[in-house]
């Protein structure tokens, strides 16, 4: 299936690893030019490796979404090197680094960095990109099922992802007259360092006789929460994001799509 992305320019924040890198690779396989925006200092090397693997034009730029000047500079560099942006995928995010519940285990100071990156970072990127985005362009924001179910694992992260979903819907309404589509994709259970940290927090609080290794703990959790009974993968998330960015999804905007194995079902 030709998704009509050949020759288009896509920007992927958080593109140096995980879901962001999987999205970038999926875009290159469709013939798109891709800019990786990431705070990771090795993003340039990662971009060159991806270009060598796929034969695509890939640009790697060090970007800090908490700084407006950094975002603006990356946008100018991307446009100069790859042409007018047609697609944005915003996957840059962070957690508080503190897990467990109740929320009173955290302090108000634990919220600031998460909100600055996940909420204000999203706003900075959107305000910078939208005026320069092609009129048939797309934006996809990577949120989380945690933003829909009030996950207690990391309340600042959950709240920030709920904000991302709501802001994407606001933008979808505002930008529809220009033909720009805005959607949100919510990953479910993906093997990430976040899940390792959640397990570690549980392990340290559990009675010694109830402690499980990460593999057994995570498999039990998957069987209990995910109807399909398996982990989601970065590639599965990327497939949905690239589809939503394509002309094949021309009538889809303002939607929140869960790629979660059935974890969250609304009825």
> Which residue of the set 99, 157, 167, 263 is catalytic?
157
Write a three-state SS string for the chain: CCCCCCCCEEEEECCCCHHHHHHHHHHHHCCCEEEEEECCCCHHHHHHHHHHHHCCCEEEEECCCCCHHHHHHHHHHHHHHHCCCCEEEECCCCCCCCCCCCHHHCCHHHCHHHHHHHHHHHHHHHHHHHHHCCCCCEEEEECCCHHHHCCCCCHHHHHHHHHHHHHHHHHHHHHHHHCCEEEEEEECCECCHHHHHHHHHHHHHCCHHHCCCHHHHHHHHHHHHCCCCCCECHHHHHHHHHHHHCHHHCCCCCCEEEECCCCCCCC
Whether residue 157 lies in the annotated active site = yes
Contact 24/34 with Cβ under 8 angstroms? yes
Catalytic residues, by residue number, are 157
């Amino acid at each position: 299936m030709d998704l009509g992305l050949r020759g288009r320019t896509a920007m992927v924040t958080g593109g140096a690893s995980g879901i962001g890198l999987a999205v970038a690779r999926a875009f290159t396989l469709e013939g798109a030019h891709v800019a990786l925006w990431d705070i990771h200092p090795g993003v340039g090397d990662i971009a060159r490796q991806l270009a060598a693997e796929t034969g695509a034009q890939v640009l790697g730029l060090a970007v800090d979404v908490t700084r407006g000047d950094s975002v603006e500079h990356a946008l100018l560099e991307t446009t100069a090197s790859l042409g007018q942006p047609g697609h944005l995928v915003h996957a840059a995010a962070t957690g508080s680094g503190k897990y467990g519940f109740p929320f009173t285990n955290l302090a108000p100071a634990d919220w600031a960095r998460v909100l600055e990156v996940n909420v204000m970072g999203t706003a900075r990127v959107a305000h910078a990109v939208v005026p320069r985005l092609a009129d048939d362009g797309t934006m996809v924001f990577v949120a989380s099922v945690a933003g829909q179910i009030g996950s207690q694992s990391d309340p600042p992260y959950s709240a920030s992802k709920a904000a991302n979903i709501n802001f994407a819907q606001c933008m979808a309404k505002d930008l529809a007259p220009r033909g720009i589509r805005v959607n949100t994709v919510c990953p479910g259970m993906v093997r990430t360092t976040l899940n390792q940290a959640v397990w570690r927090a549980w392990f340290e609080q559990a009675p010694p006789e109830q402690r499980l290794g990460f593999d057994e703990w995570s498999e039990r959790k998957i069987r209990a929460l995910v109807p399909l009974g398996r982990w989601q993968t970065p590639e599965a998330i990327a497939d949905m994001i690239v589809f939503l960015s394509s002309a094949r999804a021309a009538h889809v905007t303002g939607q929140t799509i869960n790629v979660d194995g059935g974890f969250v079902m609304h009825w």
